[in-house]
Structure 1
């Protein structure tokens, strides 16, 4: 799995806001099934044991944006306290001063439950202001609620726009197992689909026709397919407007070489009630009017069993009949037994949540299969191949690709030669052998030679903070590319906002410097970024476009690939302010799109783009996990051992 998990981050002393799924069944204020609370325990316990301060968010029922006592999470907090064996604090508010006070008073290893997230109308609308209020309570967001992963709500997706989001253990398990059914499943791969409506499963069937070997159809949805084949189905439930679609799916399965198996007999009755007269009929003989199919029959059970033989991956979503009534539960029960048996034979078996999860639990077989999903709708959409917003918002690990990942430190006018030497010694000891990404340090001109000497046997690169575009001449106070090369320097920072704004460097001058650096085989770190007033006037992209186009003017695309771009919003440099991960990612993605338009896709995907602007360990995780951010150009934090902490964060994220 390429998503970051709670195991990948340091939790000691951190405030962790965790989205869990405590949407448990209740009657008269009493929890009737605490399975979902228990499912969240491993993640909660891990965070507490690691010394985190844990804040829990969940919805319960459908209060529709209004506080309603019957949907309060107070009983859930009380049950959680019993299961954890420790006090669980509860605040009967969702946001506000009382919530802030309770969070501020939390100690390491303590847990706090906030009131039902759906008491707020903004929750289901993914209101950014509500999400921001929750995000401001914590350092890290943990998403462990797979059941809501197909919904973009403020508590699971919105928060991730402001602070880093990682997966909890339950979410990790769901992604791991469901991915086995959608990405290169072990063959033979058999899917069992049931339930009432073909319309609920259209996307699933269409997607699975690309990967499955066999699809077994049961439940009420089988009658829409049988109707499409011209069979007499009596008064059985079917979707008249989906008959043509069922024909198309049957034809597509035939074209794809996927065996789509329908029942050959059915259990029928005249009423959907317990104790009524029932009988078994063959599908070929037809079902007479007034009778309806309510379960698959014994021959179909045997047929399905034969089709499952030898399967290595099995996904089951939807019951075979009205399993809630024992008279019509045999087909579902037997399929459950089949799935359990084939698990014993070494197959990976996945139950897709919802009614099929309830069925496997009813028959006491949930521990006999590989995985029972906690999300009915979410698992269906995952199997359809859709990108679930609650998963997409979780930070991803970085894979080694054609772009370099770089951690660069711009020391500016800081550190004497002695101070530089002492600090470089610390860096070489801790990150001198780094191989996953490049480390670049940019000391003052006076310390360059010493820095090159001290890093000679390490993987640390040395950069200059500036250079002139002429080879030599009457340019008092300047240095040339040849001078830098003679020292062993291999990077040079060009176009930094301080050079632009304090020393008046223009895009034209920066363009000349970049060309000279490339000519002399130095790697330019080309800085761009907007001022605060430009951002406030919504001119960010205009400024970036001008700086990129003029800075790269006249440079061939193969040379552009050698350039490192650093996006540094001027308003965030040395101010303590920092762009949110979403703001930074938006600009980085724009830069890459611009490069694609100016040159081609290969150039866009080859150029390393760094973020600079008050980068520090507290915010770097959220920034570096964004797909278009390839590292950082660090100012103040590069002068301290926090630079090593930044390297540790990168090492954790890159796989």
Structure 2
């Protein structure tokens, strides 16, 4: 699934709390490299142009949870104002009355920078209280800090548990390019790895052995591989405890048909210093004791150029030598130039942040590549195939190829016939659905036929709030499936918490109703969920599992395919409380995994699972943006204009 971006949401008048990466070098109060600030400008300016009130969060350095003036973001705020040509306000606090007053006074198109997030001990611990506080300041969270995406901190991950989170332009670009390298790279696909340690790249290499055609290895890490092949490497840096790992990587590459290319010569010296004696030796001749390899040689540069000449995708992570010293920068610069050349011919080139990005900047080549990542550690973990918490917390677009998405309104005991007719007539002109996105209204029994008549020529579907399992008979106050079908009803809500707890409906009774509804051809919305006491005792999964298994008892896979499940935590219904997006997602995923165990993976993947419980427009984006939440069963908000807002939110994030 694709992530929601800042372009997918309405920003007008909204307070937007944006996580950026302003971790820039500062000396004597002056910023010495403003690259990261400049990288965030597009997202900030877009939000301002759309009428947002922007609150910026960032860390700077490692103050270890204490206020330290040398790590203040004040110089950054000042410089940001100059770059934006706009007033930028700064508060030297991370929370409290000063912050709240500044936020309340913020106007559309204005920017407020809060003090260094790492002045808070709870930032790096993803403290829920801190995250909830920051979330309370805003309507929307924008994550544009890829450099911290591999860290689960309060400012980039925690906030997303309380308000919707979308990607900024920088984050969007990082995901787009790195996904190309990980998921579907155009071939030939060449990976160039350098840097000091094999241990830093083991996961990346193992993951890329399943995708790359060639892996070129330079930097100090090459000597661990060379020694594993019994080459003499002198005093070069070697990870002795990783020699077996290096051998295993070489063997796996051979078995998978991936070409590992190692240097054939190296530039060596006795010290890592500028101006020292240096010389080039062939690897087969060996490096003398007391000498160490500090760069790849000219023959290796030629070899590497040849290997990448026909590339369609290149990922480069790690320099070829000690490029910070000009005496040992030749290999890194020449490889960078070679990548730039093939990029001009249409190759997608991705520089994996860290030292590689620094080298690209040093040689003035950064603009020549398709993408230079802003996160070294984050890009490495992405390439390794690890799910990054800072990315997984961002809301997702919905893919219509997966399953049907539904917004269902349960009116409960509300609206007379006249009120129902007036309200649904307005909905018809305001709500537009599409394939695999359905809107359902479930009025009281007395208004069902009237509502069905009005909606008959629209895309809005009609459902009932309950039904009995017998066709007819002495069942005072009950309604049969045939009565519902006769007036054109298509859906039926079963097992709603109010039926379970106020009217004492048992799992056995719900099972009978479910079987009858499925046999009749109507589509059931089966409700499950725990009470507050059950959640507090840690019984949520137990309750939900029991309710689902009891409801499905005696049903085949084919019969069960029409069932829509709605998870509705009882403690969140009509209380104003709502499960956080992560709490809801956790249970939805559990339900999908349970269906996989009961039936199979394909069944689970195609089953629509709704969330119900005090849904409002201000919390729905965060809920619906979770991967296993396919819509909402809405109570109070389905009786007002908010229902239209909810439908519009769903349409905006369905691909």
- Shorter-chain TM-score bucket reads over 0.9
Greater alpha carbon shift after TM alignment, 372-381 vs 264-273: 264-273
- Residues 357, 373 of structure 2: 8 Å contact kept: yes
Once the 2 structures are TM-superposed, how far is the Cα of residue 80 of structure 1 from its aligned partner?
0.7
Greater alpha carbon shift after TM alignment, 49-58 vs 572-581: 572-581
SS in 2 for 1:124: coil
Matched, 1:276 2:302: no
Matched, 1:65 2:65: yes
Pair 1:231–1:533, CA change in 2 (3 A): closer
- Residues 560, 607 of structure 1: 8 Å contact kept: no
- What is the match of residue 446 of structure 1? 446
- What is the match of residue 196 of structure 1? 196
- What is the match of residue 301 of structure 2? 301
- What is the match of residue 614 of structure 1? 614
- Residues 18, 56 of structure 2: 8 Å contact kept: yes
Superposed, which structure 2 residues align to 1:222-237 within 5 Å?
222-237=222-237
Once the 2 structures are TM-superposed, how far is the Cα of residue 249 of structure 1 from its aligned partner?
1.5
Gaps of 5+ in 2: none
- What is the match of residue 399 of structure 2? 399
Task: Supply the distance in 1 between the matched residues of 2:525 and 2:563 (Cα, whole angstroms).
Answer: 6
- What is the match of residue 654 of structure 2? 654
Matched, 1:638 2:652: no
Once the 2 structures are TM-superposed, how far is the Cα of residue 365 of structure 1 from its aligned partner?
0.8
Task: Supply the distance in 2 between the matched residues of 1:128 and 1:433 (Cα, whole angstroms).
Answer: 37
Deviations, residues 154-179 of structure 1 (Å, cap 9, x unaligned): 11111112221111100110111111
Task: Supply the distance in 1 between the matched residues of 2:338 and 2:593 (Cα, whole angstroms).
Answer: 51
Superposed, which structure 2 residues align to 1:50-199 within 5 Å?
50-199=50-199
Once the 2 structures are TM-superposed, how far is the Cα of residue 543 of structure 1 from its aligned partner?
3.1
- What is the match of residue 591 of structure 1? 591
Pair 1:503–1:269, CA change in 2 (3 A): closer
- What is the match of residue 531 of structure 2? 531
Once the 2 structures are TM-superposed, how far is the Cα of residue 286 of structure 1 from its aligned partner?
1.7
TM-score (structure 2 length as normaliser): 0.97
- What is the match of residue 629 of structure 1? 629
Aligned residues: 655
Deviations, residues 430-475 of structure 1 (Å, cap 9, x unaligned): 3254324111111222222222222223322111122222211222
Pair 1:381–1:402, CA change in 2 (3 A): closer
- Residues 157, 390 of structure 2: 8 Å contact kept: yes
Gaps of 5+ in 1: none
Pair 1:54–1:531, CA change in 2 (3 A): same
- What is the match of residue 376 of structure 2? 376
Task: Supply the distance in 2 between the matched residues of 1:351 and 1:651 (Cα, whole angstroms).
Answer: 36
Once the 2 structures are TM-superposed, how far is the Cα of residue 403 of structure 1 from its aligned partner?
3.2
Once the 2 structures are TM-superposed, how far is the Cα of residue 144 of structure 1 from its aligned partner?
0.6
Structure 1 stretches of 4+ with a deviation exceeding 6 A read: none
SS in 2 for 1:155: coil
SS in 1 for 2:609: strand
Pair 1:350–1:432, CA change in 2 (3 A): closer
- What is the match of residue 258 of structure 1? 258
Task: Supply the distance in 1 between the matched residues of 2:162 and 2:347 (Cα, whole angstroms).
Answer: 41
Greater alpha carbon shift after TM alignment, 590-599 vs 157-166: 590-599
Pair 1:323–1:415, CA change in 2 (3 A): same
Superposed, which structure 2 residues align to 1:312-327 within 5 Å?
312-327=312-327
Pair 1:104–1:236, CA change in 2 (3 A): same
- Residues 496, 526 of structure 1: 8 Å contact kept: yes
Pair 1:236–1:523, CA change in 2 (3 A): same
- What is the match of residue 209 of structure 2? 209
Deviations, residues 479-533 of structure 1 (Å, cap 9, x unaligned): 2111111111111112222223333333332222222212211112122223333
Pair 1:591–1:184, CA change in 2 (3 A): closer
Task: Supply the distance in 1 between the matched residues of 2:555 and 2:344 (Cα, whole angstroms).
Answer: 63
Task: Supply the distance in 1 between the matched residues of 2:542 and 2:179 (Cα, whole angstroms).
Answer: 41
Task: Supply the distance in 2 between the matched residues of 1:279 and 1:202 (Cα, whole angstroms).
Answer: 30
- Residues 433, 458 of structure 1: 8 Å contact kept: no
Deviations, residues 255-293 of structure 1 (Å, cap 9, x unaligned): 111111111111112222111221122112222222221
- What is the match of residue 246 of structure 2? 246
- What is the match of residue 551 of structure 1? 551
Once the 2 structures are TM-superposed, how far is the Cα of residue 358 of structure 1 from its aligned partner?
0.6
- What is the match of residue 456 of structure 1? 456
- What is the match of residue 19 of structure 1? 19
Pair 1:3–1:428, CA change in 2 (3 A): same
- Residues 16, 141 of structure 2: 8 Å contact kept: yes
- Residues 396, 625 of structure 2: 8 Å contact kept: yes
SS in 1 for 2:10: coil
Superposed, which structure 2 residues align to 1:440-519 within 5 Å?
440-519=440-519
Once the 2 structures are TM-superposed, how far is the Cα of residue 408 of structure 1 from its aligned partner?
0.6
Pair 1:409–1:75, CA change in 2 (3 A): same
RMSD (CA atoms): 1.7
Deviations, residues 537-596 of structure 1 (Å, cap 9, x unaligned): 443334333333333333333222222222222222222222211222222223333333
Matched, 1:339 2:335: no
- What is the match of residue 349 of structure 1? 349
SS in 1 for 2:156: helix
Once the 2 structures are TM-superposed, how far is the Cα of residue 380 of structure 1 from its aligned partner?
1.0
Task: Supply the distance in 2 between the matched residues of 1:110 and 1:75 (Cα, whole angstroms).
Answer: 18
Matched, 1:574 2:577: no
Task: Supply the distance in 1 between the matched residues of 2:596 and 2:329 (Cα, whole angstroms).
Answer: 58
- Residues 436, 651 of structure 1: 8 Å contact kept: no
Once the 2 structures are TM-superposed, how far is the Cα of residue 62 of structure 1 from its aligned partner?
0.7
- Residues 560, 603 of structure 1: 8 Å contact kept: no
- Residues 192, 217 of structure 2: 8 Å contact kept: yes
